Amino acid sequence: MKTKNMVKDLFVRGFDEKLHAKATQIATNDRITLASVVTDAIDRWIKNYEKNKHRHNLILYSDQISLKKLLDEIDKLASGNWLKSYCGPVNHSGIQILNKRNWFNAAGDRYEKFLEKPQETAIKVLETIDSKIEDRRSSSNRNNTSLLPLIITFLVEDISREESVKKAAGVCEWYERQSVPGITYCIANTRNVLTGSFDDLFELFNAHNRVFLAKSNKIYRLRIDDEHFYSLLI
What mean pLDDT is predicted for residues 138-151?
74
Residue 46: per-residue pLDDT:
61
pLDDT, averaged across the chain: 86
- What are the boundaries of each domain within the chain? 50-222
144 pLDDT above the threshold of 60:
no
Alpha helical stretches, state H, the chain: 17-29, 34-51, 64-77, 93-100, 118-139, 155-162, 165-178, 190-193, 198-206
Residue 6: per-residue pLDDT:
59
What mean pLDDT is predicted for residues 197-203?
94
CATH 3.40.50.920 fits 50-222, yes or no: no
Is there a contact between 188 and 154 (Cβ–Cβ < 8 Å)?
Answer: yes
Is there a contact between 215 and 66 (Cβ–Cβ < 8 Å)?
Answer: yes
Lowest mean pLDDT among 22-36, 40-54, 119-133: 40-54
Residue 121: per-residue pLDDT:
92
Report d(CA 57, CA 51) in Å as an integer: 18
Report d(CA 12, CA 10) in Å as an integer: 6
Is there a contact between 60 and 70 (Cβ–Cβ < 8 Å)?
Answer: no
Report residue 1's pLDDT band, with 50, 70 and 90 as the boundaries.
Answer: very low
51 pLDDT above the threshold of 70:
no
Q: Which is higher by pLDDT, 122 or 41?
A: 122
Percent of the chain with pLDDT over 70: 87
Is there a contact between 33 and 24 (Cβ–Cβ < 8 Å)?
Answer: no
145 pLDDT above the threshold of 70:
no
Report d(CA 123, CA 52) in Å as an integer: 17
